[in-house]
A and B are shown apart, each in its own frame.
Chain A
Amino acid sequence: MQDTDVRTRGARATARAPRARTGRRLGQALIPYVWIGPATLLIAVVVLWPVVEMIRTSLQKISSSGVTLGSNGTTNYSDLFDEGDLVHVVVRTLLWVAGVVIVTMVISLALAQLLNARFPGRRVVRWAVIVPWAASVLMTALVWKWMLDNYFGVVNEVLLDLHVLHKPVNWLAHPDQAMLWMMWVAVFVSLPFASFVILAGLQTIPGEVYEAARVDGSGTFRTYFRITLPMLRPALLIAAIINVINVFNSFPIIWAMTQGGPGHATDTTTTFMYKIAFFDQNVGESAAMAVVNFALVLVMVLLYLRASRWREEVR
């Protein structure tokens, strides 16, 4: 009796040792997850859950009051693709994104170069460039809306005084002009972020590279296109991608200035989505538009990354 007791105890003891070792190894393997756990959880709650919710909503039938009436299959999507204005809106959105991002990046490159140069008062200029970023986008858009007003707008006032115009122009009522003005406002609010990212990029380029170029007799243009621009690629890449996403999803500028009107003539997919939910009272179809919008952003960013061969940057 005693004998067996000892034996089993011994067996247990020998069994415990490796188990403890695997336990420790498992614990060690789990430690990183403990550390990244809260962040992962945060991302899951704040990022993934809304995406799931969005896709779920796009498959539901939701009454005009807001009550969920059950599954709607893919009807929301077929309704969305039946909208006569959808194609125009998507094309306009792509033009809007391309136009705003390209102009922003070109101006930001110049601005960043200026901010990187040494001159008296540089600190003040750097602060001044940040201002449009610090101001609320909605406020900026509203200020521009009033500046472009047909009756009281300062833009008309100045152009009339300079005899450029003979009578006031209702800038925001004509779709093409309105679109150009809104793109300008979008560029204006995108500049600070892009130019500061590029400025940071400029500051990472070591001085020795420039010195070597100078010794080799490279001119200003050549130095810029052969050294500065290639070495700025990581910064440009980041600035452009974030800008694409921001501009694509930009709602306040267009909503404050034209509400996407007249009709749907200045709508992008984001304002169109809002109108489907709150004018057409169709939350389900609006969610379908949101899913399409989400997919469009993903595809655009992937295409851009592919075109710019981002893997070389990572390596």
Chain B
Amino acid sequence: MKRHLIGVIAAGLTVTLGMTGCSKGSSSGGGGGDSKTIKFVAAIYDDNTKGYWDGLIKDFEAANKGYKVNLEMVDWTQMDAKVKTYVQTKQTPDILNYNAFSDFARDGLTYPASEVVSPQVLSDFTPTFVDQTKYNGTQYALPFIASARLLFFNKDLFKKAGITNPPSTWAEVKSDAQKLKAKGAVGYGLPLGPEESQAEFYSWAMNDGGGWVDSSGKWAINQPANVDTLNFLRDLTKSGLTQPNPETTDRKTVFNQFAQGKVGMGINGPFTRAGFIDPVNKNLNYGIAPLPSKDGSVHNTLGVVDVLNAFKNGGKNKDAVTKFLNYFYQQQNYAKFLKLENFLPTTKSAGSALSSDPYYKQFVDALPQAKFAPTSNPAWSAVAGAVKQSMGTAVASGDPKKVLDGIQKTAEKNG
């Protein structure tokens, strides 16, 4: 009898606790009354990220008495699920570090950039990135970090295979890959797995006159140039010049093999040295070249930009959010982050911070010719999702044209 009683009490307590948990959750949305405390959700780029933000917030709170920033660090693999939950349960943070912004802007959740940073900060952003953060002509997000993609090649393997220069045309890519294969290496490391196939594909398609949209901004994913690009990548795969099964290989696997000296060529960004190569093999003899293009005339590069979103949450947080963002974009604070994380700057004043290193200079120099994914279109995340799921099958069991038709259908459905 006594045991039953305890059981009932325990059950009762669980229910009550559960319910108070719920009600507390739903009322804390909208920022609350305390406008000097804000919540900041930051993405984990590497092991240094949290330390940087902890330090910056401590300094900010010391310089601005009474203001408080609650930091939450989220891993990129969980970010999408978390962000969806924040929005659906109306518990959006005040500042969010993310790779998308336009659907927040469309749904009226975020401040225009001009309302949350000073005019000095606003005018300091590089124009290329300002264009990338506009929705319907107004800048909403704040460009946070940038990255560009170039061709990495293994100089030792190239020498062994008797190749003097990195490839400039696609024909050279194929013939070089054949020479590398003859020496027992993987010619080209092609990651078309779900991690980032949209970036790999676009890096090739943009250098064949292809892309995501036509000149009027309408989705043109199944355009002939894109089919042509996929046919080329499929040919590389079917000729055995890539690693086995590109459709399931992610970038980290390809560049682990590259760092071990088993892969001749691969496309990657500025974080490659610190993130992939140095931890495995500091002595790897490699070079960096522009992305090869079909005819070798123009070499475009893929640009990627992550952003900070400032959520309205009822509007009381504006003062604190503005103070914190202006503090972060001060030249020395911002440059410190870039140096620590090996990313390219999105502001003019921090522009010179990385150019002194010849390795980074190549990426900084490539940025002006960069082409970006259409992130200002709110449908882009769904399109990128469709690409991640199915693009890889085009070089395996699928048919390039049909795969692209499927993605085009998804794109048009999402507007």
Contact = CB atoms under 8 A, between A and B. Distances in A.
Contacts of A46: 18
Interface in B72-128: 80-81, 83-88, 103-104, 106-107, 109
B193 A261 contact: yes
B248 A262 contact: yes
Interface stretch (A37-45, A101-109, A113-121): A37-45
Interface in A142-197: 150-151, 170, 172-174
Given A261-B247, A282-B382, A41 B396 contact: no
A38 B257 contact: no
Contacts of A42: 11, 14-15
Contacts of A151: 253, 257
A67 B382 contact: no
A290 B335 CA distance: 46
Interface residues of A, number: 36
A65 B106 contact: yes
A67 B87 contact: yes
A225 interface: no
Nearest to A167: B244
B316 interface: no
B389 A261 contact: yes
Contacts of B382: 64, 279-282
B104 A65 contact: yes
Contacts of B86: 66
A145 B109 CA distance: 40
Contacts of A265: 393, 397
A263 B385 contact: no
Contacts of B81: 278
A66 B103 CA distance: 9
B390 A263 contact: yes
A259 interface: yes
Contacts of A66: 83-88
A90 to B, nearest CB: 18
A261 B15 contact: no
A72 interface: no
A68, A172, A261: which has the most chain B beta carbons within 10 Å?
Answer: A261
Given A38-B11, A173-B244, A258-B248, A45 B385 contact: no
B14 to A, nearest CB: 6
A38 B81 CA distance: 33
Given A261-B194, A279-B388, A281-B381, A67 B247 contact: no
B17 to A, nearest CB: 11
Interface string B376-397: 0011011001101110110011
A277 B381 CA distance: 11
Contacts of B88: 62, 66-68, 283
B104 A280 contact: no
Contacts of A258: 248
B398 interface: yes
A279 B14 CA distance: 35
A302 to B, nearest CB: 29
Contacts of A62: 88
A63 interface: yes
A275 interface: yes
Contact of A38 (B15, B109, B389): B15
B11 A39 contact: yes
B244 A263 contact: no
Contacts of B397: 262-263, 265
B409 to A, nearest CB: 10
Interface string A74-90: 00000000001000000
B398 A263 contact: yes
B188 to A, nearest CB: 17
A261 B392 contact: yes
B48 interface: no
B64 interface: no
Given A42-B14, A65-B103, A280-B410, A173 B389 contact: no
Given A66-B84, A67-B109, A173-B245, 4 more contacts: A65-B84, A66-B86, A67-B87, A278-B81
3 closest A-B pairs by CB: A66-B87, A279-B385, A173-B245
Interface of A: 35, 38-39, 41-42, 45-46, 62-68, 84, 150-151, 170, 172-174, 258-259, 261-265, 275, 277-283
16 contacts: A35-B4, A42-B14, A42-B15, A63-B106, A64-B378, A65-B84, A65-B87, A65-B103, A65-B107, A67-B87, A261-B194, A261-B389, A263-B247, A263-B389, A263-B392, A275-B389
